[in-house]
Amino acid sequence: MASDKIPAIDDAAFQAAISSDIPCLVDFWAPWCGPCKAIGPVIEDLAEEFKGKVTILKMNVDDNPVTPGKFGIRAIPTLILFKSGEVVDQITGAVGKKQLVDLINKAL
């Protein structure tokens, strides 16, 4: 679920959003996904912690099937870190905050 801290993105806006020099972390999720809900508060904390350094976005895979298909996403939550339109790294599953911080630091 998108929130005040983390905007939602759709297939149409995706390429423009990840093409920035500012790293972009995209959370691929769905409303019915328990682990997606569990990791949500951690993602919101990261949005605050890395504000101005990293863009964090959420993509609902049910509403936007094209982009997840392009990246071969078969399980959610999947978080993919992009920089200048290229994949830096990705994590699948509800992981801890430290793993996500380490992921983000790869692009800073």
Residue-wise pLDDT tens digits, 49-89: 999 999 999 999 999 999 999 999 999 999 999 999 999 99
pLDDT confidence bin for 5, thresholds 50/70/90:
confident
Q: Which pLDDT tens digit goes with each residue over 10-63?
A: 999 999 999 999 999 999 999 999 999 999 999 999 999 999 999 999 999 999
Is residue 24 flagged as an active site residue?
no
Given the residues 33, 39, 61, 100, the one annotated as active site: 33
User: Hey, what domains does the chain have and what are their CATH numbers?
Assistant: 11-105 (3.40.30.10)
Given the residues 9, 18, 36, 61, the one annotated as active site: 36
- What percent of the chain is modeled with pLDDT above 90? 94
- For 29-44, the DSSP string reads E-TT-HHHHHHHHHHH
Q: Exposed, middle or buried: residue 44 (CB in 10 Å: 0-12, 13-18, 19+)? A: middle
d(CA 66, CA 69): 5
**Stated pTM of the model:** 0.95
